[in-house]
């Protein structure tokens, strides 16, 4: 039986004026005298994102991939047209901004009869495709002029037919490389090369497209060479350069996009740009930047962009690099690869041989699933090896990144889904693509959501109107603090003062006004990319999910360095709600984190194994902790009793430790797992662990 | 405190339907489902949900929802196929109109063998908060003289994860909306004289 989301989030309508979202669609194999993939017109505000038009054909040679017309404000990102007479046709537009557009094998990639901005654009025409041999890039109406920057092209007869204000333009010597072998957008002969590994086009040394060699000048932290050397020593010599390069490049590109988007703003401070969004989408369609870098250029660029004096930031960057956000680096083991697989949380595993002193580990992979078969050297050697020395974090729900059905009872407000693009974050900006300036380091930043109409916010139960709120975000710097506020009212003008929600993971809020609004304030955000708002999750409150946080719960990250059990400091933010504390004062302390299990992964098992990995263990290389596990059923649907138990587990240095749990009274609707963790009082002080790197769960039934 | 907000309600009643059910002795429960969607609609009131169990449904004519909010869900996504014997009412297999809130999810929609006056798979007009989710609309052959739509919707809401394919005719649209978002949909294998995969506007 499938439980459909009865409170599907997309019923939510945030107050916006006549904005139409067209996102994630594919139109292919259309034939007609007049054939159009996407016809979007007569719209006040259009947000078109991640759409693809393929093989739109007309015997009259007038097929169009996208026809965008008669729109006041058109904003297009990550759209692609391939094998179309005219890839994109823009006209009668008051405002046009286009990012990361790709057009392949079009007679005219873009025709424009409007004033617009185009950035991160890629055009290509196959040499072996006679139909498009005379391909043009921009065909611009003489009455208009466009701004273009970062335009990459290959094989075009003409890049621009018309007037442009040009930025960087690169003419490629080879076909643009796409990282989806055998995809429709990948030239066949390139695919063969990629697949055979005989010639990896991304390794070609070429010009530096960025053109900006200046270092970060306003970064406050130091020791840049450390990271420089790190990349230098490990990156280009890894066992699987193709895969790793592509993955790193994805993150690289995402940063480029992020910067250019910020740059685009005329008021630099009024845009909150969520870089994760860039990673999620940009990398999938626009990986050809890889061909413009050589090792030295690339590492320099990476260093410039990812430079940080903090471990967390660097680690997180690597996580981005291997697809930690979109979960789909090229060598990633997708969930689909594992039948009957399920997960607890999501693990992001980094390129961190340095971090874990695992000399043999050259790159990490992300495994967010472990199947019914036990992960071991024999069954999944590569994964196993990499996981052994990896770092991960426990993530909040990200089903929307997995293309999973949203669990019943949840509402998710993210920028991708609910117009949170209107959020604002003040404080810092980018001067240009690679130079970061900080308006006033340490000053407050603020992110304010649009008004959310509560008429569609689920709120029921007894008493009526209670919802559970979770803030989903990422913090890349240990210095950042942030607070969540809300307010309710009858209109924007009558909104009362903000009230703080101190319990921002699973906090309970009574909704009793027509409109609801959230505000997140951040402090000490050195760079914009150090804080990432992902969304706010709401779901119907149920008292049966209540749990009492352990005594000693302190919402700070505590790290113990190897062998230095008495020294406490801030630890890498495994996840902001991933709280881990061991304190050496002779008293047992607890910590806890919560993991939401996506619906698709709901437990149907009677045995699960929780895996743990640590880093930097003390001299003895072992520590012992006590776990309390609460498996909380989703009483929204059905209400089996919660279970809990206390178990002891030993953690070893650079090894996976695990604990097997027999669970009963679970059913397919169980979805929440809370774990609390306490240091075992019998654990010798000097062997205290440093960081819990990750925890995973898997079924071991059968 | 102001008035209690209007909630997006859980279905007040779930009316179960199965091809193996019965309209005479069934009562619309999981154990005793109705047999036909028509009979379920006869008992359909505001806020109800019709839950379709797996199988092929062949209503005598178009399924029409007019003025009653609620939802039609397939029990298992895309294990339910609706193939009317005729689709002459509003020229659509499924017609939803004049409704403040409606959802239809997980249903395959196929053109009747007798395609007389059938110009659309799903037709929704004057519907707010419409969600057409994970529906497949396929194998339609519209007359050359009419505008054909896989999915047509006007109002507010969104079309999501719907797949329209193998549609032929004269002037045809895979998905056409006015005022609705279109998300994660796919239109493929459409052919005709004037063909548009996905079209949207809000004016």
Task: Please tell me which of the candidates A1, A51, A454 has its beta carbon nearest to residue B75.
Answer: A1
What totals of helices (H) and strands (E) does chain A contain, helices first?
A: 8, 32
Please list every residue in chain A whose beta carbon sits closer than 8 Å to the beta carbon of residue B174. Answer: 27, 30
**Residues 27-66, chain B: which have Cβ within 8 Å of A?**
none
Is A37 in the same domain as A162?
Answer: yes
Is A575 in the same domain as A496?
Answer: no
Taking residue A323's Cβ as centre, other Cβ atoms within 10 Å add up to 24
Taking residue B181's Cβ as centre, other Cβ atoms within 10 Å add up to 23
Is A440 in the same domain as A577?
Answer: no
Please list every residue in chain B whose beta carbon sits closer than 8 Å to the beta carbon of residue A490. Answer: 2
Of A161, A182, A199, the residue that ends a domain is: A199
Please list every residue in chain B whose beta carbon sits closer than 8 Å to the beta carbon of residue A89. Answer: none
Interchain contact B168–A (C-beta under 8 A): no
> Considering its fold, how many domains does chain A have in total?
3
Confidence tier at A45 by pLDDT (50, 70, 90): confident
Straight-line distance from the first to the last Cα atom of chain A, in angstroms, rounded to the nearest whole number: 23
Can you read off the two tokens belonging to residue A380? 């999944």
Nearest to B122 by CA among B59, B35, B62: B62
Lowest mean pLDDT across A305-309, A432-436, A602-606, B119-123: A305-309
Residue with more model confidence, A426 or A289: A426
Looking at residue B100, its pLDDT comes to 86
Nearest-by-CA chain B residue for A64: B196
Torsion over CA of A316, A321, A325 and A327, rounded to 10 degrees? -130
Nearest-by-CA chain B residue for A404: B161
Is A537 in the same domain as A574?
Answer: no
Nearest-by-CA chain B residue for A515: B5
Can you spell out the DSSP letters for A639-666?
A: -PPPEEEEEEEEEEBTSEEEEEEE--S-
Looking at residue A54, its pLDDT comes to 86
Lowest mean pLDDT across A49-63, B80-94, B114-128: A49-63
Please state the pTM of the whole predicted model. 0.49
pLDDT tens digits, A650-683: 665 545 566 666 655 455 444 444 444 444 545 4
Q: Find all residues with CB under 8 Å of A589, minimum gap 6, and list them.
A: A552, A581, A582, A583, A678, A679
Residue A603 within any structural domain of the chain: yes
ipTM for the assembly: 0.93
Pairwise CB contact (< 8 Å): A43 & B179: no
Identify the domain containing residue A25 by its residue range.
1-199
pLDDT tens digits, A596-632: 222 222 344 455 555 554 444 443 445 555 555 545 4
Longest CA–CA separation in chain B, Å? 58
Can you read off the two tokens belonging to residue A87? 């890839």
Rounded-to-integer distance, Cα A518 and Cα A418, Å = 13
Please list every residue in chain A whose beta carbon sits closer than 8 Å to the beta carbon of residue B129. Answer: 11, 13, 456
Rounded-to-integer distance, Cα A269 and Cα A528, Å = 10
Looking at residue A434, its pLDDT comes to 29
CB A612 within 8 A of CB A622: no
Backbone angles phi, psi at A282, to 5 degrees: -60, -45
- CATH number of the domain bearing residue A495: 2.60.120
Distance of residue A55 Cα from the nearest chain B Cα, in angstroms: 10
Is A503 in the same domain as A456?
Answer: yes
Q: Helix, strand, coil proportions of chain A in percent (round to 5)?
A: 20, 35, 45
Pairwise CB contact (< 8 Å): A4 & B106: yes
pLDDT tens digits, A240-293: 433 343 334 433 333 333 333 333 333 222 222 222 222 223 222 222 222 223
Looking at residue B164, its pLDDT comes to 96
Question: What DSSP element (H or E) covers A29?
Answer: strand A26-49
Looking at residue A396, its pLDDT comes to 22
pLDDT tens digits, A348-407: 222 222 222 222 222 222 222 212 222 334 433 443 333 332 222 212 222 222 233 334
Confidence tier at A433 by pLDDT (50, 70, 90): very low
Is A532 in the same domain as A576?
Answer: no
Of A516, A545, A574, the residue that ends a domain is: A545
Residue A325 within any structural domain of the chain: no
Q: Answer whether residue A215 shows pLDDT above 60.
A: no
Question: What DSSP element (H or E) covers A614?
Answer: strand A607-615
Interchain contact B75–A (C-beta under 8 A): yes
Backbone angles phi, psi at A243, to 5 degrees: -65, -45
pLDDT tens digits, B56-84: 999 999 999 999 988 898 888 788 999 99
Interchain contact B106–A (C-beta under 8 A): yes
Confidence tier at A315 by pLDDT (50, 70, 90): very low
Is A487 in the same domain as A584?
Answer: no
Question: What is the 3-class SS of A307-337, one letter each residue?
Answer: CCCCHHHHHHHHHHHCCCCCCCCCCCECHHH
- CATH number of the domain bearing residue A29: 2.160.20
Is A528 in the same domain as A572?
Answer: no
Looking at residue A147, its pLDDT comes to 84
Strands A481-489, A515-523: pairing kind: antiparallel
pLDDT tens digits, A129-163: 555 556 888 999 989 988 876 676 777 788 888 77
Is A626 in the same domain as A509?
Answer: no
Please list every residue in chain B whose beta carbon sits closer than 8 Å to the beta carbon of residue A56. Answer: 197
Residue A631 within any structural domain of the chain: yes
CB A329 within 8 A of CB A250: yes
Looking at residue A114, its pLDDT comes to 93
Taking residue B28's Cβ as centre, other Cβ atoms within 10 Å add up to 21
Is A31 in the same domain as A115?
Answer: yes
% of chain A beyond a pLDDT of 70: 24
Residue A269 within any structural domain of the chain: no
Buried b / exposed e along B32-59 (16+ C-beta atoms within 10 A): ebbbbbbbbbeebeeebbbbbbebebbb
Buried b / exposed e along A334-371 (16+ C-beta atoms within 10 A): ebeebeebbbbbbbbbbbbbbbbebeebbbbbbbbbbb
Please list every residue in chain B whose beta carbon sits closer than 8 Å to the beta carbon of residue A27. Answer: 174, 186-188, 197-198
A675: left (phi over 0), alpha (psi -120 to 50) or beta: beta
Residue A125 within any structural domain of the chain: yes
Identify the structural domains of chain B with CATH numbers, from first to last. 14-201 (2.160.20.10)
Question: What DSSP element (H or E) covers A71?
Answer: strand A64-77
Rounded-to-integer distance, Cα A93 and Cα A44, Å = 10
Question: What is the 3-class SS of chain B, one letter each residue?
Answer: CCCCCCCCCCCCCEEEECCCCCCCCCCCCCCCCECCHHHHHHCCCCCEEEEECCEEECCCCCEEEECCCEEEEECCCCCEEECCCCCCHHHEEEEEEEECCEEEECEEEECCCCCCCCCEEEEEEEEEEEEEECCEEEEEECCCCCEEEEEEEEEEEEEECCEEEEEECCEEEEEEEEEEEEECCEEEEEEEEEEEEEEEECC
Residue A282 within any structural domain of the chain: no
Lowest mean pLDDT across A204-218, A465-479, A597-611: A204-218
pLDDT tens digits, A481-521: 778 899 988 876 788 999 998 766 567 788 888 777 888 77
Rounded-to-integer distance, Cα A672 and Cα B14, Å = 27
Of A199, A226, A255, the residue that ends a domain is: A199
Q: Find all residues with CB under 8 Å of A400, minimum gap 6, and list them.
A: A406, A412, A414, A416, A417
| Ranges A47-61, A473-487, A643-657, most confident | A47-61
Residue A105 within any structural domain of the chain: yes
Looking at residue A49, its pLDDT comes to 75
The whole-number average pLDDT for the span B37-45 is 94
Task: Please tell me which of the candidates A21, A32, A403 has its beta carbon nearest to residue B194.
Answer: A32
Rounded-to-integer distance, Cα A563 and Cα A551, Å = 26
The whole-number average pLDDT for the span B3-22 is 66
Residue A671 within any structural domain of the chain: yes
Can you spell out the DSSP letters for A193-237?
A: HHHHTS--GGG-----SS---PPP-S-----HHHHHHHHHHHTTT
Confidence tier at B170 by pLDDT (50, 70, 90): very high
Lowest mean pLDDT across A237-241, A385-389, A695-699: A385-389
Residue with more model confidence, A167 or A46: A46
Can you read off the two tokens belonging to residue A218? 């306003």
Mean pLDDT (chain A) is 50
Pairwise CB contact (< 8 Å): A20 & B103: no
Looking at residue A55, its pLDDT comes to 85
Rounded-to-integer distance, Cα A405 and Cα A505, Å = 21
Q: Answer whether residue A31 shows pLDDT above 60.
A: yes
Looking at residue A118, its pLDDT comes to 83
Is A105 in the same domain as A82?
Answer: yes
Rounded (10°) angle between helices A275-285 and A241-264: 120
Q: Answer whether residue B4 shows pLDDT above 80.
A: no
Pairwise CB contact (< 8 Å): A21 & B181: yes
% of chain A beyond a pLDDT of 90: 7
pLDDT tens digits, A62-106: 999 999 999 988 888 777 888 889 999 999 999 898 876 778 778
The whole-number average pLDDT for the span B136-156 is 94
The whole-number average pLDDT for the span B9-17 is 75
Interchain contact B86–A (C-beta under 8 A): no
Taking residue A404's Cβ as centre, other Cβ atoms within 10 Å add up to 15
Please list every residue in chain B whose beta carbon sits closer than 8 Å to the beta carbon of residue A184. Answer: none
Q: Answer whether residue B41 shows pLDDT above 50.
A: yes
Is A502 in the same domain as A576?
Answer: no
% of chain B beyond a pLDDT of 70: 94
């Amino acid at each position: 039986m499938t439980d459909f989301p009865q409170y599907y989030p997309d019923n939510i309508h945030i107050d916006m004026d006549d904005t139409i979202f067209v996102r994630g669609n594919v139109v292919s194999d259309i034939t007609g005298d007049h054939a159009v993939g996407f016809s979007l017109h007569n719209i006040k505000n259009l947000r078109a994102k991640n759409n693809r038009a393929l093989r739109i054909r007309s015997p009259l040679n007038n097929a169009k991939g996208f026809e965008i017309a008669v729109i006041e404000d058109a904003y297009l990102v990550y759209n692609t047209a391939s094998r179309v007479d005219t890839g994109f046709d823009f006209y009668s537009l008051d405002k046009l901004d286009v990012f990361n557009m790709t057009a392949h094998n079009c007679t005219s990639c873009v025709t424009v009869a409007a004033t617009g901005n185009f950035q991160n654009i890629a055009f290509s025409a196959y040499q072996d495709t006679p139909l498009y041999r005379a391909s043009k890039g921009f065909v611009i109406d003489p009455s208009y002029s466009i701004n273009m920057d970062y335009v990459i092209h290959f094989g075009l007869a003409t890049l621009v037919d018309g007037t442009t204000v040009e930025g960087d333009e690169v003419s490629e010597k080879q076909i643009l490389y796409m990282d989806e072998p055998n995809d429709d957008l990948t030239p066949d002969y390139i695919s063969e090369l990629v697949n055979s590994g005989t010639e990896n086009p991304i390794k070609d040394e070429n010009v530096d497209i960025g053109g900006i060699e200046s270092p970060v000048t306003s970064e406050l932290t130091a020791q840049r060479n450390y990271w420089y050397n790190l990349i230098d020593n490990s990156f280009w010599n890894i066992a699987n350069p193709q895969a790793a390069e592509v993955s790193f490049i994805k993150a690289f590109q995402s940063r480029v996009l992020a910067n250019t988007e910020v740059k685009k703003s005329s008021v630099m401070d009024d845009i909150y740009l969520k870089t994760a969004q860039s990673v999620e989408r940009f990398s999938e369609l626009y990986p050809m930047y890889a061909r413009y870098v050589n090792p030295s250029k690339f590492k320099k660029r990476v260093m410039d962009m990812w430079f940080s004096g903090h471990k967390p930031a660097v680690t997180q960057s690597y996580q981005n690099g291997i697809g930690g956000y979109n979960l789909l680096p090229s060598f990633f083991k997708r969930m689909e690869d594992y039948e009957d697989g399920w997960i607890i949380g999501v693990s992001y595993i980094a390129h961190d041989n340095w971090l874990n002193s695992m000399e043999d580990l050259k790159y990490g992979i992300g495994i967010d699933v472990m199947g019914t078969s036990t992960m071991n050297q024999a069954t999944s050697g590569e994964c196993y090896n990499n996981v052994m020395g990896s770092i991960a974090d426990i993530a909040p729900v990200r089903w929307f990144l997995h293309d999973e059905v949203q669990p019943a009872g949840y509402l998710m407000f993210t920028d991708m889904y609910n117009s949170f693009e209107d959020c604002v974050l003040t404080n810092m900006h980018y001067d240009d693509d690679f130079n970061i300036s900080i308006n006033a380091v340490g000053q407050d930043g603020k992110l304010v959501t649009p008004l959310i109409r509560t008429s569609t916010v689920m709120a029921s139960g007894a008493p009526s109107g209670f919802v559970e709120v979770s803030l989903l975000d990422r913090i890349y710097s240990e210095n950042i603090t942030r607070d969540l506020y809300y307010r309710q009212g009858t209109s924007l003008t009558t909104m009362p003062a903000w009230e703080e929600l101190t319990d921002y993971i699973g906090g309970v809020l009574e909704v009793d006004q027509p409109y609801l609004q959230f505000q997140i304030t951040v402090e000490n955000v050195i760079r914009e990319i150090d804080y990432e708002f992902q969304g706010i999750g709401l779901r119907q409150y149920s008292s049966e999910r209540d749990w009492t946080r352990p005594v000693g719960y302190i919402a700070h990250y505590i790290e113990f360095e190897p062998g230095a059990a008495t020294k406490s400091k801030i630890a890498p933010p495994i996840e902001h709600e991933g709280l881990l504390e061991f304190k050496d004062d002779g008293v047992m302390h607890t910590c806890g984190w919560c993991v939401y299990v996506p619906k698709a992964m709901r437990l149907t098992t009677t045995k699960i194994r929780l895996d743990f990995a640590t880093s930097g263990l003390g001299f003895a290389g072992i520590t012992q902790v006590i776990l309390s596990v609460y498996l909380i059923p989703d009483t929204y649907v059905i209400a089996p009793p919660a279970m809990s138990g206390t178990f002891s587990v030993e953690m070893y240095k650079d090894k996976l430790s695990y604990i097997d749990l027999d669970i009963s009274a679970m059913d397919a609707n169980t979805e929440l797992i809370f774990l609390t963790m306490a240091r075992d009082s019998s654990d010798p002080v000097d062997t205290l662990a440093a960081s819990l790197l990750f925890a995973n769960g898997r079924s071991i039934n059968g | 405190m102001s008035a209690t907000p209007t909630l997006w309600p859980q279905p007040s009643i779930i009316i179960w339907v199965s091809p193996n059910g019965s309209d005479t002795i069934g009562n619309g429960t999981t154990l005793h489902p109705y047999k036909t969607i028509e009979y379920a609609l006869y008992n359909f009131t505001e806020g109800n949900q019709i839950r379709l169990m797996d199988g092929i449904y062949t209503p005598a004519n178009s399924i029409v929802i007019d003025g009653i909010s609620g939802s039609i869900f397939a029990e298992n996504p895309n294990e339910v196929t609706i193939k009317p014997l005729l689709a002459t009412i509003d020229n659509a297999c499924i017609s939803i109109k004049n409704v403040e809130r409606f959802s239809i999810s997980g249903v395959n929609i196929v053109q009747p063998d007798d395609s007389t006056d059938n110009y659309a798979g799903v037709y929704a007009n004057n519907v707010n908060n419409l969600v057409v989710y994970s529906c497949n609309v396929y194998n339609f052959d519209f007359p050359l003289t009419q505008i054909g739509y896989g999915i047509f919707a006007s109002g507010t809401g969104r079309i999501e994860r719907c797949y329209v394919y193998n549609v032929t005719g004269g002037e045809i649209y895979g998905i056409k909306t006015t005022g609705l978002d279109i998300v994660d949909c796919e239109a493929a294998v459409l052919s005709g004289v004037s063909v548009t995969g996905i079209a949207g506007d809000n004016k």
